[in-house]
Structure 1
């Protein structure tokens, strides 16, 4: 879990811990949300409008998160765990185009191999 998410959940805990099993409450009513349509219509859509963003459904945000993390060079195993995928292959198949390719196309590994061979040769 990302530290800002963990901190937000810890902060939220003080408001809802003793009020039952729900974590997030509607700030207008002080009661648990009744479903995703209520969240979408009263919170999500107005939030996107205020941020001057085009509509994205909440599920699409998962894909934005994964593609941004992989594009930034985050480890695919970590991203896969964050997404809750059962294995890394699912993540790789879904988000392969967002994984930056090394422009050297293996030259680092070849250089390391070459240096290893040179060190063996120098020892003999």
Structure 2
């Protein structure tokens, strides 16, 4: 995704040559994070409060991401690969309720590709 790629490129200038090989570093110390507890206590909880969002575990952002991608109409197979699921069936089972029920473009791609408009 373009924005994620840009964020990682920006981060590269900060941490690419760090001896630890880690991508994300503690901004206060410049050292690698020492575990998820440290991240939650020093960054995550404060960020959620500032954003006015009730507490949630960082792991929940994974589900937020997937449901947003499915809701936006991204291909389920692509979302499945992004999530690292072994099968698209797993992704469909978990996120089926987020698949848009109606879309004004439904069927239009096939129509455009296979020229079904003349039938």
Structure 1's unaligned 5+ residue stretches are 120-124
Greater Rg by CA: 1
Structure 2's unaligned 5+ residue stretches are none
**1:1-124 aligned within 5 A:** 2-20=1-19, 21-102=21-102, 119=119
User: Residue 67 of structure 1: CA displacement?
Assistant: 1.0
TM-score by length of 1: 0.78
Higher relative contact order (CA 8 A, sep 6+): 1
Number of equivalent positions: 110
Q: Which has more helix, going by share of residues?
A: 1
Aligned Cα RMSD in Å?
Answer: 2.3
User: Residue 101 of structure 1: CA displacement?
Assistant: 2.0
Structure 1 stretches of 4+ moved >2 Å:
none
